[in-house]
Amino acid sequence: MEHIEQGTCVFFYHQNSLELGMIREVHPKFLLVFYNEGSLIKLTPQRIVLSSREVFNVSTPLQCITAFADRIDERIPQLDLEIITPRLETGRSYGFAELCALFSLDDDAQRFALFLTLKMSPETIAQKHSSFVLLSDSERKLLELKRAILSQQHAFLIQAEKLVQNVLSGVPATGVEKDFLSEFRYQLNENLLANENSDLIKLIQAHPSEHSFQEKIILLKRSIGDINPETDEVIALSGIPVCFPRAHTLEHPAPALTDLTHLQAFTIDDSETRDFDDAFTWESLHSGFRLGIHIAEVAAHTKKWNLLLAEARLRVSSLYLPSEEIPLLPENLSHDELSLKQGSLRNVLSLLVELGPDLKILGSSFTTSQIRIDRNYSYQEADKLMSEFPFKLLLSFQTKLQTLRQMEDKRGDDRYQYYLKLKGGHLHFKKIDRYSPSRLLVEELMIFYNSSLATYASELKMPLIHRNIEQLSYFNNENPEEAENGTSFFNAYLSTTPSYHPGIGADAYVHASSPLRRYTDILNQMQVSHYLRHQNIPFSSDELEKLIPEIETRLLLQKELIASSDRLWFLRYLNQECMNQPLQVKVLRKTKSTCIVEVSPWNRKLQLITDARIFPDTLVTIIPTGIDWEKGILLADTV
Q: What is the pLDDT of residue 355?
A: 97
Tens of pLDDT along 495-550?
Answer: 999 998 887 888 899 999 999 999 999 999 999 999 999 999 999 999 999 999 99
Q: Using CA atoms in the order 608, 609, 613, 616, what is the torsion angle rounded to 10 degrees? A: 20
Tens of pLDDT along 285-306?
Answer: 999 999 999 999 999 886 667 8
Stretch 37-51: mean pLDDT, rounded? Answer: 93
Instruction: With residue 587 as reference, give the H or E element that holds it.
Output: strand 583-590
Tens of pLDDT along 11-26?
Answer: 999 988 999 999 999 9
Q: Are the CB atoms for 510 and 452 separated by under 8 Å?
A: no
Stretch 356-372: mean pLDDT, rounded? Answer: 97
Q: What is the pLDDT of residue 137?
A: 87
Residue 412: pLDDT over 80 = no
Structure letter (DSSP) for residue 78: G
Residue 92: CA count within 13 A, CB half-sphere: 10
Q: What is the pLDDT of residue 482?
A: 45
Q: What is the pLDDT of residue 33?
A: 96
Residue 251: pLDDT over 90 = no
Instruction: With residue 551 as reference, give the H or E element that holds it.
Output: helix 541-577
Residue 1: pLDDT over 70 = no
Residue 593: pLDDT over 90 = no
Q: What is the pLDDT of residue 157?
A: 95
Residue 599: pLDDT over 90 = yes
How confident is the prediction for the chain on average, in pLDDT?
91
Choose the weakest-confidence range: 84-88, 288-292, 581-585: 84-88
| Number of helical H runs and strand E runs in the chain | 17, 25
Give the pLDDT band of residue 474 (cuts 50, 70, 90). Answer: low
Backbone angles phi, psi at 208, to 5 degrees: -65, 130
C-alpha span between 278 and 294 (Å, rounded): 6
Give the pLDDT band of residue 484 (cuts 50, 70, 90). Answer: very low
| Model pTM above 0.85 | no
Q: Are the CB atoms for 637 and 585 separated by under 8 Å?
A: no
Residue 331 neighbours by CB distance under 10 Å: 14
- The proportion of the chain whose per-residue pLDDT surpasses 90, expressed as a percent, equals 76
Q: Which residues of 111-127 are buried (b: 16+ CB within 10 A; e: fewer)?
A: bbbbbbbbbebeebbbe
Closest to 48 in 3D by CA, of 60, 68, 33, 63: 33
Residue 580 neighbours by CB distance under 10 Å: 10
457 Cβ partners below 8 Å, 6+ apart? Answer: 463, 464, 510, 524, 527, 528
Give the pLDDT band of residue 411 (cuts 50, 70, 90). Answer: low
Give the pLDDT band of residue 486 (cuts 50, 70, 90). Answer: low
C-alpha span between 375 and 520 (Å, rounded): 28
C-alpha span between 229 and 222 (Å, rounded): 7
Residue 623: pLDDT over 80 = yes
Tens of pLDDT along 301-357?
Answer: 866 678 889 999 999 999 999 999 999 999 999 999 999 999 999 999 999 999 999
Bridge partners, residue 426, by sequence: 423
Rounded to a whole number of angstroms, the distance between the first and last alpha carbons of the chain is: 77
Residue 464: pLDDT over 60 = yes
Choose the weakest-confidence range: 121-135, 417-431, 465-479: 465-479
